[in-house]
Amino acid sequence: MPIDAEVIADLQDFTTRKVRAFVRDRPLASVAGALAVGFVVGGGWRTRLGRMLALAAARHAALKAAEHYFNG
């Protein structure tokens, strides 16, 4: 079943609105996310420092998720 061009345009508009709202409401989180993507795509995770930073970020995310799950 082919995807209609109108459906794709609607999805693109919806995604654009959501991303713009997120960037407007949480600019620091947006910059942090862009830095993380650039770090991974740029190969920074292959260095020793990169692996340590990635591990620290993963630990922080896991703790926040557990805190949200158990307290929320």
Q: Give tens-digit pLDDT for 39-66.
A: 889 888 789 998 898 899 899 999 999 9
Distance CA(25)–CA(38), nearest Å, equals 21
pLDDT value at position 71? 84
Distance CA(9)–CA(20), nearest Å, equals 16
**Its pTM surpasses 0.85:** no
Q: Give tens-digit pLDDT for 2-40.
A: 778 888 999 999 999 999 999 999 999 999 989 888 988
Distance CA(33)–CA(62), nearest Å, equals 16
Q: CA geometry: angle at 54 spanning 51 and 35, to 5°?
A: 115
Distance CA(13)–CA(6), nearest Å, equals 10
Tokens of residue 21, six digits: 């709202």
